[in-house]
Structure formats: C-alpha cells, structure tokens
Amino acid sequence: MLAGKCLCGAVQYAVADEFIYAANCHCSNCRRTTGSAFKPFAGIERERLSLTKGEDNLLIFGEETVHDTHCKTCGSLLYSV
C-alpha cells in the first residue's frame, strides 16, 4: 500500500501499489496541468484509490468521469481520472 498527500496535508490518500502501467506524458494538457515538462501517471482501478483524509477539501476540474482533483487549500494536484 502506498500513501500520499497534498503539500499542506489537508488531503491524504492510500492506493494499492499494483499498478497496471506507469509512464510520463509530455502532451500540452499534462504540461499545463503540472506546470512542468511532463505529468507522471500510473494506471490503477479506481476502487484501489481511497481518500483517508480531507474528502470535503477537494477541488475538481472537469467532468465526473474525466477530471483532475486538487486540494482546495493548497492547490496541489492529487490525481486525475
């Protein structure tokens, strides 16, 4: 099990570490989302990601089925679906 959190710690999550794939994307949307040269990502089933703190502190950009999720407090990009 892997754990992560945003910069301020208001949102925390856990994810099973059995990734289907892992890669870096260099497309313009991913670069814009992260403000860097690429966006690292790993493929997992959605049910393997669980929020352990701060579910009420999420800021979602996009649609229900395809979006980026950020911390409302510090703006950290947490995950994309």
| Predicted confidence (pLDDT) per residue in 19-76, tens digit | 899 999 999 988 988 899 998 988 888 889 999 999 999 999 999 888 999 999 999 9
Cα–Cα distance, 28 to 26 (Å, whole number): 7
DSSP code of residue 39: E
Looking at residue 18, its pLDDT comes to 82
Per-residue pLDDT, 51: 96
State if pTM tops 0.75: yes
pLDDT bracket for residue 13 (50, 70, 90): very high
Question: What local confidence, expressed as pLDDT, does residue 3 receive?
Answer: 95
CATH dotted code for 2-80: 2.170.150.70
Burial of 69 (C-beta count, 10 Å sphere; 0-12/13-18/19+): buried
